[in-house]
Structure 1
Amino acid sequence: MISNIRLVDGSNIYEGRVEVYDGTEWGTICDDDWDINDAQVVCRQLRLGPAIQAPMRAHFGQGTGPIMLDNVRCSGSETFITGCLNRGMRVHDCGHSEDASVICGVNIRLVNGSNIYEGRVEVYDGTEWGTICDNSWDINDAQVVCRQLRLGPAIQAPRQAYFGQGIGPIMFDNVQCSGNETSITDCPKRGMRVHYCGHSEDASVVCGK
């Protein structure tokens, strides 16, 4: 159900104006009652990192479609933004100058390296951090990770827990990026938490500076 929400007009995939699809067209959310709990649900639904900010007042520009939701009041634990309390679809008293936005954290990180350019790759699924199994892991996969973290080009794609074993769940296995993807989550793979691995097979990267 990820496809019924998107972020628009941000400078990267982790931020933007929140838009919702109601089955016929895309529209925005009014910022009445908008806060970090609402942003948390959006970031989790999009499988991005934890919410950092919940900008209001069309921070990323005004939308042009209908205003889909108003007075959204999430607890922060909901799975979908449409599952939060609201006035009802397309019921509002707003203009697009009040379009709501989010800024999410990066959903990937490098751990246990000697600097910020290397380490074991860990992915955040909206609830916790976990590792990637090194089956099929190669320089193309590393290239996507390095680009996603805005580091230099991939230099190495170490396998077999080169930077130590993780302790969380194993999130991905058989990752097969072409190298051009925007996010590691866009690459072909087995599916979230579907794997036949142990942490001795945790994948890593070494990026250029």
Structure 2
Amino acid sequence: SVRLVDGTSLCSGRLEVKSNQFWSSVCEADFDQQDAEVVCRELGCGAPSVLQGALYGEAEALMWTKEFQCEGSESVLLDCGSSGSARNTCSPGKAVGLTCSEPDDVRLVGGASRCAGGLEMKQHGDWRPVVDRFSVWSLKSAAVVCRQLDCGSAVSTERRKNSSSRSVWRIRSSCLQSGSTLMECVLTWSVSSSSSLQITCSGNTINDINYDSNVSSLFLPLSQ
């Protein structure tokens, strides 16, 4: 029901809210820090770091007409209260632009940069490798991870066969491809596996795309 558009990642952009199948921008005067905390939480991002009108361009969508009145503890923005009076206009340059901090519950490890390596996720303080429920992981699924890490687009995705089994988080990649975040697609039961997922993202710098080709040859390619 919420999204950040025209930003650099899932966690930044101009705020739009969906209601009755239509997306609406929100006027800066109708949105505050507590509202921002709820949006960042709903998107699976960290705490809000920047809240500023027109930070990510002027609104192109309809305007939300009522002021949000969140307490800050809600999990979904549309669960928050709203003002009774409707706003008819919003000054130019005042559509809400929001930047949330990047989530610290997803990482790529063992690669040449933070934008390449084995996919791991943290839940309940426990970091574990991630595997797909049906051992099928596409570039489209990997692209969700790259965007979440602000690492550009997905370049390759492979499955690594490890020498021993360990506890892993299992993911439904079809859930990811429907627009959900990695955290929302985790299957809750515990499982052990000797496989893990290796992802290479394009990265934001030249160094991010220089990964070790000798290491990457050790991984078994998945279906694309």
TM-score higher than 0.5 here? yes
**SS of aligned partner of 1:63:** coil
Work out which of the two has the higher radius of gyration on C-alpha atoms and give 1 or 2: 2
Write out per-residue CA displacement over residues 80-131 of structure 1, whole angstroms, 9 at most, x where no aligned residue.
212224314734774243221222344562255365221333278xx98875
Write out per-residue CA displacement over residues 158-187 of structure 1, whole angstroms, 9 at most, x where no aligned residue.
256989656xxx3x434369xxxxx66748
| Unmatched runs of 5 consecutive residues or more in structure 2 | 201-208, 211-224
What is residue 133 of structure 1 aligned with on the other side? 131
The 5 A counterparts of 1:103-114 are: 103-107=99-103, 109-110=106-107, 112-113=109-110
| Unmatched runs of 5 consecutive residues or more in structure 1 | 178-182
Distance 2:85 2:14 in 1: 18
Whichever structure has more strand as a proportion of its residues is 2
The 5 A counterparts of 1:45-60 are: 45-46=42-43, 48-60=44-56
What is residue 173 of structure 2 aligned with on the other side? 175
What is residue 157 of structure 1 aligned with on the other side? 159
What is residue 26 of structure 2 aligned with on the other side? 29
Distance 1:95 1:113, change over 3 A: same
Structure 2 length as normaliser, TM-score?
0.61
What is residue 203 of structure 1 aligned with on the other side? 196
Quick one: which of 39, 46, 64 aligns to 2:36?
39
| Aligned residues: CA RMSD | 4.1
Structure 1 length as normaliser, TM-score?
0.64
Corresponding pairs, count: 191
> Which amino acid in 2 is paired with 1:86?
S
Distance 1:158 1:147 in 2: 18
**1:78 CA displacement:** 0.6
> Which amino acid in 2 is paired with 1:87?
S
